Structure 1
């Protein structure tokens, strides 16, 4: 349904809103006593683009028609504004030469206290604003004064027709816009803002406009403090009395070392003309301008649009490619510098990591580790990649001994042989650092097809999906953490008489041998077992897999956990005659220890992944 605004002009102006469904397409000339005017407008002078608006879709329209010669207002006219077509239709016009005055408003004019007055002559004040400019304008105001002519003709048959010339109406703003802009030598300063405020003062503005478009009146002096993070663009009527808009900008930022920097900049804007954008531009002089440490705040991370690994929808050719998706549980945070000079951080973890300092020793630059990047947070399964500042400009970095090191502008080749160190006080990181004997985990389809609804079973395997891969990350982080827990070692020693090998109960295995086998460096291809053949787990050599339920329930279900450890027993070289499969190690000691000590492990809850609610499960 179309939307219309009806304006009725008698001795004063009345604006109402209505809806009408029988609007017919307009034509350049009016039929009978109706004239249709097309409202057009353009961008601000000084805007980045000069493309003109094809339509002026206003929230409110006021108009007056005056006699072209005398300037006297014409009464008894009816106007209908069509916002969707940016057209104003006026009825009641007679033959003559006129001027059409149009005020268009876009935005919430009620906040501005604007008043539109009935006028009898073009030189009278038509529009007025409050004398106290308590805040910038909430709406934009457009004005035009357009000459047009109405001529009537009587045909030989006595039919009266009207022609209107001058129906294209170009609107321009009667307000000016002040934009606060900033130039940051170091982009991480902008994304580390704590606050950005400005005082607006000194200026007085015009408070009114006549029908002829002449400004009138003068306001009191503006005095206002504003938050530039919430809004950096402000609209006003033009400056009056030779005054200027002036004040101070206060910028407060965090530093990655935990402090704050407060900077103040003075500004003055001497001109603010109608339909123009004036920029209050501030080059930010800041002590961190030369810093070469990437300061990755949540805002900086979000703006980087960084990826995530092992996510639903990731192609199987990616997550089952060891060159792209493989990790060691003792090093779940993978760090590198790419050939393009980007810091690449990939995190195999269901949990985030907070307050992470990445240091790098760059042999071609310095013998010490330097502060290369600070992350307020690294998200779960993060795949962060961002160009290093050192490739853009000369920088300074703080060394591990506390001295500042000046670095010239570097190339990617200068990072050859880089070594990384991580500092982090997050308790979760401390647990991850306690994984000493890591296992290397990759993911395999084993000829299954995850793109098929049934997983494309191939023998006892089906296509593993990312939801299962994420659970594999959780389980093997916990398992390799568990094998170095003192409590785990105690339970093995207390039950050493129940540990036996492939020769049965008389083939005793010492706790030291078991610990050595569990702590041995291993590489596994992890998959998803197809339970249709009655098989719920497979393991041996470098292959490992369990059925879907076990991947989901290993946290709390001792039966599912038994399956996990049964297959680990096979990976360690044990058969079904040993206690490591159908025996106490898998069926009683390990599965119960894992479930009962889950609260001490790195991934201490299934809620991080919430896999049981995942829509991609089989």
Structure 2
């Protein structure tokens, strides 16, 4: 037998392709003469390039062994094991060899690539069409590993075979180009609507031979590169003497509906294999110094802002009126924190679109000026973000159209801020029509929402966020309804059905005054096990779960709500406002029949009936 010693070294050449003799089905790979373990080397130019080495995994692998004359060796047996990234070889004779390996990650057919069979190392192995005219979809890896086979005499005059393992480090033959952008204002970056690179005449190599040499030439045409969601592209190296150059165009929008187009020239002379090359565009934009926080959808998402009254909110938070309380006439709460952040909290089941926030800050101007614009404010949003005013000097646009420059300010200088909100969203128009707001907060009344049965105490059980959200919907609708002309009309037309507990008539004006007066309610969840499905009076209001979920369409559920509102208004069970026509005929039916006109015009915003956190 022979004893084989492999002496190997890695050459950082380029890609190759070659077919091989497959291991026959009866051959064993337990003791092959040579095992080559494939690893991928990371791109050069990365921070971790010294330690970037990972086991190779390819969608396609081609390899072959050539002798010292570069001719393909055909009298060997070999096999590639993709699960271990190893090539096993048997049948090698004494001599000098090279192992050529070509790996592909991705689908080379998308690049119209052709991998040829090698008979000699100088032949073409990998080839791209001259008119490809696009970046590469797949990544291509290559290595050329020389090794020597020598025969050694064993003890007793016998020759022995020993398996030798060798690591093979694969490098990409392609080059990657990263298009990077430096912005002076983060709100300009998130307001970009389109980015693209238009290339001049650029020529890439199109051929790789077995010895790693590059040849061939693309036709010089390259389609525009869209840089919106993808900013990295792969290419074959530049042909000697060619330059990757062109123009980068950037389109942005601003909060006032205008669009800005800008063009920047660029040029890249070097594009080496297995390297990342960066083309940075420093964007100078007219809105660089704008004070406005332009919260596009992407900008808002980047802030990872939270929401209030969500199912995972603790009872200690959502039942604390210092943390969770709102007036239905002001569901959008705005303030500037002591740290100089704009804080926006929105008590609403619905999203609000196209929102301009203006502010009057005495230390800045005697006028209101534009401060923030939201493409969308999500329902129950809880937004915090540092104001540009405390980060840098800024340009402000006042209501009269003046542009004023404001120096960087301290948070303490923002005291006394007053806000004004504008929106083209029809939903906002409805919210602004709520003139007589009620203050709403939530209480457990002894119940425990963490228990499966709600921890009932007397007629109460633990209210959960799913019920709190529904109460926001109900009271926004109710306080909107009380100022509707149609509502006043139905009361006027049925004035004879309005009476107190002594059956004395109640004037329509008196009823409206009682419904419109300022009130504060602590809202809870009623436990129906005692036969009670609603409780109300003074500052207390509660209903059982089904009524909270069905007030949109169920006239009976509505009658429960208005029954308890009748108690809140000071009436007892002998009046028309509880078991009488006001609660059970006029108001409940008006609510259901006019739901489409209300701010919260559908149960689908909350879909509470299907919420897994409701009581079963």
Give TM-score scaled by structure 2 length: 0.92
Query: Can you list the C-alpha shifts for 1:54-108, whole angstroms capped at 9, x where unaligned?
Result: 211111122222224x333322333322233222222322233322121121111
Residues 220 and 336 of structure 1, relative CA distance in 2, 3 Å threshold: same
Distance 1:598 1:114, change over 3 A: closer
Deviations 1:448-507 (A, max 9, x none): 1111111111100011111111110011001111111122222333333332224x11x3
**Which residue in 2 is equivalent to 1:107?**
106
Task: Indicate the residue corresponding to 1:375 in structure 2.
Answer: 374
Stretch of structure 1 that moved more, 159-168 or 197-206? 159-168
How many angstroms apart in 2 are the aligned matches of 1:16 and 1:511?
99
3-state SS of 1:161 partner = coil
DSSP 3-state at the match of 2:300: helix
Deviation track 1:306-356 (CA, whole Å, cap 9, x = no partner) reads 112212222222211112211100000111122222212111111111111
Structure number with greater CO (CA < 8 Å, separation at least 6) is 2
Shift of 1:521: 0.9
Instruction: Tell me if structure 2 keeps the 8 A contact 1:149–1:164.
Output: no
Secondary structure class of the residue paired with 1:123 = coil
Please list the CA deviations of residues 256-314 of structure 1 after superposition, one character each: whole Å capped at 9, or x if unmatched. Answer: 10111111111111111111111111001211111111111111122222112212222
Q: Distance in 2 between matches of 1:496 and 1:117?
A: 94
Q: Which runs of 5+ in 1 are unaligned?
A: 1-11
Map residues 469-618 of structure 1 onto 2, 5 A cutoff. Answer: 469-502=468-501, 504-505=502-503, 507-618=504-615
Return the alpha-carbon distance in structure 2 between the equivalents of residues 17 and 355 of structure 1.
65
Q: CA deviation at 1:18?
A: 12
CA distance in 2, matches of 1:142, 1:564: 71
Structure 1 residues 20 and 451, CA gap change in structure 2 (3 angstroms): farther
Say which is worse superposed, 462-471 or 199-208, in terms of deviation.
199-208
User: In structure 1, how many angstroms separate the alpha carbons of the residues matched to 2:395 and 2:108?
Assistant: 51
Which residue number in structure 2 is paired with residue 5 of structure 1? none
Q: 1:379 to 1:196 in 2, by over 3 A?
A: same
Quick check: 1:425 aligned with 2:424?
yes
Match of residue 197 from structure 1 = 196
Report the Cα offset of residue 22 of structure 1. Answer: 11
- In structure 1, distance between residues paired with 2:175 and 2:458: 74
Q: 1:569-613 CA deviation, whole Å, 9 max, x = no partner?
A: 111122222222222222222222222222221112222222222
Task: Write out per-residue CA displacement over residues 106-157 of structure 1, whole angstroms, 9 at most, x where no aligned residue.
Answer: 1111122323333343333333222223111111111112122334555447
Identify the residue that residue 234 of structure 2 maps to in structure 1.
235
Residues 150/19 of structure 1: CA separation in 2 closer, same or farther (3 Å cut):
closer
1:67 aligns with 2:72: no
Label 1:256 to 1:559 Cα distance change in 2 as closer, same or farther (>3 A). same
Decide whether aligned partners of structure 1 residues 18 and 616 sit closer, same or farther in structure 2, where only a CA change above 3 A counts: farther
Cα distance in 1 for residues equivalent to 2:91 and 2:526? 83
Helix, strand or coil: the match of 1:577? coil
Contact map agreement 1:575 1:581 (CA 8 A) in 2: yes
* 2: CA distance, partners of 1:175 / 1:16: 28
The whole-number CA distance in structure 2 between the counterparts of 1:375 and 1:181 is 26
Higher mean Cα deviation, 596-605 or 443-452? 596-605
For structure 2, which runs of at least 5 residues remain unmatched after alignment? 1-16
Q: Secondary structure at the match of 2:241?
A: coil
Q: What is the Cα-based RMSD across aligned positions, in Å?
A: 2.3
Aligned pairs (5 A) from 1:1-400: 13-14=18-19, 31=31, 34-50=33-49, 51-68=51-68, 70-153=69-152, 155-156=154-155, 160-163=159-162, 167-400=166-399
Give, in whole Å, the separation in 2 of the partners of 1:464 and 1:539. Answer: 15
Mapped partners of 2:584, 2:22: distance in 1 = 77
Structure 1 window deviating more from structure 2 (84-93 vs 247-256): it is: 84-93
Instruction: Say which SS state the counterpart of residue 53 (structure 2) adopts.
Output: coil
Question: 1:16–1:548: structure 2 CA closer, same or farther, 3 Å change rule?
Answer: farther
SS where residue 161 of structure 2 aligns?
strand
Indicate if the aligned counterparts of 1:318 and 1:325 stay in contact, CA closer than 8 A: yes
SS, match of residue 162 in structure 1: coil
Task: Assess if the C-alpha contact under 8 Å between 1:153 and 1:162 holds in 2.
Answer: no
Q: Is the 8 A contact 1:538 1:545 kept in 2?
A: yes
Judging changes above 3 Å, is the alpha-carbon distance between structure 1 residues 23 and 227 closer, same or farther for their aligned structure 2 residues? farther
Q: TM-score, normalised by structure 1?
A: 0.92
CA offset digits 1:368-387 (Å, max 9, x no partner): 11111111111111122222
- Could you say which residue in structure 1 is the equivalent of 2:463? 464
Stretches of 4+ moved more than 6 A in 1? 15-24
Going from structure 1 to structure 2, the CA distance change for 1:114 and 1:584 (only over 3 Å counts) comes to closer
Cα distance change on mapping 1:429 and 1:21 into 2, 3 Å: farther
Check the 8 A contact 2:21/2:76 in 1, yes or no.
Answer: no
Partner SS for 1:599: helix
Q: 1-side partners of 2:61 and 2:523: how far apart?
A: 68
Q: Residue 265 of structure 1: SS of its match in structure 2?
A: strand
Superposition deviation, residue 523 in structure 1: 0.8
